[in-house]
Amino acid sequence: MKNLISLFVFSLVIFSLVLISEKSAFNKTNSDSDSVEAKKKIYIDALKEQIKGKEQLPSETVFKDLQMLKEMPAEKILSIMDKGFSNSLGVSCEHCHNTEDWASNEKKEKIIAREMMKLSGQIRNMISNIKEIDSENASVSCYTCHRGQIIPATKPN
Ligand code: HEC
Ligand code: HEC
């Protein structure tokens, strides 16, 4: 009988430990994505302030080292960085940037992102050459592959 009781108490302890750890894992993912959003907002608000009055000027005249994302209103760069890049990979700006110097190319992730833009462009061309596809604007974006992850899945989970 004594053994049974201690077994019961032991199971209760294990069970509550599992509950606690699941709960904290849940809170962790939640607050992680909250803090990513909060960080991005601080950077974007500061940059919006910095380009005030120049939002509609050609992007390449407002920023220092745009090699690909030229000939668009400067403000568009910020939404591409936020929605197009960061959200597609599920990261904040510092994954690709030294946030003290946005034009710097010191992070390999930024260099890779430029190559990824070329890769996406080539895939878009290939898709538009498949005459049998009915859609007018069949396309791929960063999100098509990344789906909120840094490393895209190669198989269904
Ligand atoms: C996946 C990588 C990646 C992420 C994440 C990312 N960026 Fe970028 N960013 C780039 C690349 C690549 C360029 C250069 C594009 C080009 O050459 O046309 C760039 C350029 C910029 C520039 C222009 C700098 C200059 O003066 O030349 C700014 C400003 C910028 N990003 C801000 C941000 C902000 C703010 C965030 C977060 C909301 C962010 N980026 C997230 C890759 C990234
Ligand atoms: C056709 C699918 C595909 C598309 C479209 C795509 N990527 Fe990728 N990306 C990959 C693969 C695969 C890797 C390599 C992952 C690994 O390390 O195994 C990768 C890696 C990366 C990395 C390096 C990840 C790291 O370790 O930090 C960055 C940054 C990146 N992609 C950004 C982008 C951006 C920005 C776009 C849109 C302009 C984009 N990708 C579009 C498939 C894609």
> What is d(CA 85, CA 71) in angstroms, rounded to the nearest whole number?
18
Residue 9 in domain: no
Predicted pLDDT of residue 157: 79
Angle 47-50-56 from CA coordinates, rounded to 5°: 90
Predicted pLDDT of residue 20: 47
Q: Is the pLDDT of residue 14 over 90?
A: no
What's the CA-to-centroid distance between 97 and ligand 1, angstroms?
7
Domain assignment of residue 40, given as a range: 35-146
Predicted pLDDT of residue 24: 47
**pLDDT of 21-72, one tens digit each?**
444 444 456 778 899 999 999 999 999 999 999 999 999 999 999 999 999 9
Q: Which of 88, 112, 143 gets mutated to test ligand 2 (max ligand atoms within 8 A of its CB)? A: 112
Residue 3 in domain: no
Nearest Cα residue to atom 14 of ligand 1: 66
Q: List, chain by chain if needed, residues with CB within 6 Å of any ligand 2 atom.
A: 85, 89, 109, 112-113, 116-117, 120, 123, 140, 142, 144-146, 150-152
Cβ atoms of 78 and 41 closer than 8 Å: no
How distant, in Å, are the alpha carbons of 14, 30, 31, 36, 103 from that of 26?
18, 6, 9, 16, 36
Q: What CATH number does the domain containing 101 carry? A: 1.10.468.10
Residue 83 in domain: yes
Residue 95 in domain: yes
**pLDDT of 96-154, one tens digit each?**
999 999 999 999 999 999 999 999 999 999 999 999 999 988 999 999 999 999 999 99
The tally of domains found in the chain comes to 1
Cβ atoms of 40 and 86 closer than 8 Å: yes
Residue 106 in domain: yes
